[in-house]
Amino acid sequence: MSNQGNPSEQTPQARIGTLWGGAFSRSTDDAVRRLNDSLRFDWRLYDEDITGSIAWAEALAGAGVLAESERAALADGLERVRAEFAAGTFAPAPGDEDIHTAVERRLGELVGDVAGKLHTGRSRNDQVATDVLLWLLRVRESVQAALLDLAGALVEQAESARGAVMPGYTHFQPAQPLAVPHWWLGHFWALVRDVERLDTLAAAWRDKCPLGSGALAGTPYPVDRARLAARLGFTRPTPNSLDAVADRDHVAECLFALALLGTHLSRLAEDLIVYANPALGFVRLDERYSTGSSLMPQKRNPDPLELARGKAGRLIGHLGGFLATLKGLPSGYNKDLQEDKEPLFDAVDTLLELLPPLAGLVRTLAIDPDRMRAALDEGMLATDLADYLVSKGVPFRRAHGLAGQVVRLAESKGAAPSALALDDYRAISEVFEADVLDVFDFDAAVRRRGAVTGGAGDVDDQLARAQAWLAAR
Ligand code: ARG
């Protein structure tokens, strides 16, 4: 917008204030500009962008490219730009293509010509790669904090469900009885892996500082990249500049971690949706976490759970879509890579919006231990009946068949297996004795399966481990 009186400087750069354009004689088509511009979503990187620029100015000063007074002026100006963003007073200008150009343009307005020295030896390619890594290292902690809250809610439910027994399912058919805390904790340990996966990924992300890679071929100035990396909280600089500007593994890895986390949430949601159905009635959602129907007055809909299940599809889509963007790119930076940000931001936003209500829903729902127990039937102890025979020396494969005969006989008589006469048992196998009736105790069946094998038996021990894990975080 400046230099209007000097036609020799009426390049597109002068007219629209972009960072490039010196070699162009016509300015970008408006529709292309709208397509190209990313400021509307990448402004969220402002903090990381400014932190990276301040560190880069230090690196340039260390390399003798900037005088100390210039470095200080740039750092001051950058902090002022940061403050404008933080206060919400930053005013974008028409030529602000992305967060990098916007910050530099504003810096120039605040500190004058010295701003033009900041980009020495740097490219937006190494800059954006660094920004996104720093952003990931920050937001993964928010996701983990939200996850820990949900994990804590699961443990609280497990704690208060001590002593309750429910049907456990495989193929969603009644399988074996489970201690209710064991079911809750089954969801908890999946979230533990999600939290720990983000730790592991963060360690890998910290291990590759791309700044100093330039556009693709490195920087000709003798910057101390190891020091620069450390200054930004990385453990070391990347070893190959061409790879460093194209590497989006961290984006794909994060999208995978979030898609898998979403899949875990979907499974929890699906369990609760089914268990909240009045036909089972195992859980009842608090009114604050369920919704009504505009037509049917009796309805209590588990909308937050359905959204949790539904959003897993969106998270998986972001991963698949981004991998498709990456495949087929030649070496180096390609503009396609700008497509990393919207799915990444959306995946993080989606989870940060979803996890808190899900934690509240879990924390406030009421289980119905009577309905859970009423849903048990002795068929779920057929395996225990086989194990009873095993304890008397019968090989398991044969015991399985004999227990099956008992189930069949009971069904044909319309009676529970525990209601059969001892003679009925002995007609099937002489190995059966009067103590066979001890098998038909759901609580004992649950206790028999010990914690060491991951079973439900020693739920107290498992709960203690879960609480210790939470306390250590
Ligand atoms: N907005 C771009 C992105 O997010 C920044 C890098 C652009 N580099 C370039 N040479 N056009 O990928």
Look up 293 and say whether it is catalytic. yes
Among residues 333, 348, 374, which one ends one of the domains? 374
- Total domains in the fold of the chain: 3
| 211 and 239 co-located in one domain | yes
| 366 and 384 co-located in one domain | no
Reported as a single tens digit per residue, the pLDDT across 27-80 is 889 999 999 999 999 999 999 999 999 999 999 999 999 999 999 999 999 999
| 150 and 75 co-located in one domain | no
The domain of 383 spans 378-472
Q: Is residue 25 part of a domain?
A: no
CA of 360 relative to ligand 1 center, distance in Å: 40
Q: How far apart are the first and last CA of the chain?
A: 53
Residues contacting 383, CB < 8 A, separation 6+: 176, 403
* Contact (Cβ atoms closer than 8 angstroms) between residue 459 and residue 179: yes
Residue 428 CA to residue 408 CA, distance in Å, equals: 11
Look up 100 and say whether it is catalytic. no
Return the ligand 1 atom nearest residue 98 CA.
1
- For residue 248 and ligand 1, the question of a CB distance below 6 A is answered with no
CA of 208 relative to ligand 1 center, distance in Å: 19
pLDDT recorded at residue 24: 87
Joined together, the tokens standing for residue 245 give 């500007």
* Contact (Cβ atoms closer than 8 angstroms) between residue 223 and residue 60: yes
Residue 355 CA to residue 207 CA, distance in Å, equals: 29
CA of 72 relative to ligand 1 center, distance in Å: 27
Interhelix angle 341-364/303-326, rounded to 10 degrees, is 160
Among residues 374, 391, 417, which one ends one of the domains? 374
- The rounded Cα 430 to chain-centroid distance in angstroms is 56
Distances (CA, A) of 248 to 224, 229, 251, 252, 317: 24, 18, 5, 7, 17
Residues contacting 223, CB < 8 A, separation 6+: 59, 60, 62, 63, 121, 212
Joined together, the tokens standing for residue 366 give 């009421």
3-state secondary structure string, 113-149? HHHHHCCCCCCHHHHHHHHHHHHHHHHHHHHHHHHHH
- The rounded Cα 88 to chain-centroid distance in angstroms is 28
- For residue 37 and ligand 1, the question of a CB distance below 6 A is answered with no
- For residue 126 and ligand 1, the question of a CB distance below 6 A is answered with no
Q: Which residue has the tokens 């991951």?
A: 454
pLDDT recorded at residue 10: 41
Q: Is residue 20 part of a domain?
A: no
Q: What is the CATH number of the domain that holds 44?
A: 1.10.275.10
Q: Is residue 441 part of a domain?
A: yes
> Which residue minimizes the CA distance to atom 12 of ligand 1?
338
Residue 98 CA to residue 163 CA, distance in Å, equals: 58
Q: Is residue 427 part of a domain?
A: yes
CA of 125 relative to ligand 1 center, distance in Å: 6
Residue 90 CA to residue 81 CA, distance in Å, equals: 7
CA of 128 relative to ligand 1 center, distance in Å: 7
333, 340, 342: which to mutate for ligand 1, most atoms within 8 A of CB? Answer: 333
- For residue 334 and ligand 1, the question of a CB distance below 6 A is answered with no
| 195 and 266 co-located in one domain | yes
pLDDT recorded at residue 7: 37
| 195 and 255 co-located in one domain | yes
Query: Which residues of the chain carry a pLDDT beneath 70?
Result: 1-18, 450-457
Return the ligand 1 atom nearest residue 337 CA.
12
Active-site residue among 2, 69, 142, 293? Answer: 293
Residue 325 CA to residue 301 CA, distance in Å, equals: 38
| 230 and 318 co-located in one domain | yes
| 192 and 301 co-located in one domain | yes
| 211 and 355 co-located in one domain | yes
| 358 and 261 co-located in one domain | yes
Residue 306 CA to residue 277 CA, distance in Å, equals: 13
- For residue 101 and ligand 1, the question of a CB distance below 6 A is answered with no
Return the ligand 1 atom nearest residue 38 CA.
1
DSSP 8-state symbol, 28: P
Q: Is residue 48 part of a domain?
A: yes
Residue 115 CA to residue 110 CA, distance in Å, equals: 9
Among residues 338, 356, 374, which one ends one of the domains? 374
- For residue 38 and ligand 1, the question of a CB distance below 6 A is answered with yes
| 448 and 351 co-located in one domain | no
Q: Which of 445, 388, 377 lies closest to 411 in space, CA to CA?
A: 377
Largest CA distance in the chain: 111
> Which residue minimizes the CA distance to atom 4 of ligand 1?
338
Return the ligand 1 atom nearest residue 335 CA.
12
Q: Is residue 215 part of a domain?
A: yes
CA of 21 relative to ligand 1 center, distance in Å: 15
Q: Which residue has the tokens 């986390």?
A: 261
Q: Is residue 17 part of a domain?
A: no
pLDDT recorded at residue 28: 87
Residue 189 CA to residue 48 CA, distance in Å, equals: 33
| 450 and 333 co-located in one domain | no
Q: Is residue 22 part of a domain?
A: no
Q: What is the CATH number of the domain that holds 421?
A: 1.10.40.30
* Contact (Cβ atoms closer than 8 angstroms) between residue 372 and residue 304: no
| 201 and 78 co-located in one domain | no
CA of 471 relative to ligand 1 center, distance in Å: 42
Task: Read off the amino acid at residue 227.
Answer: R
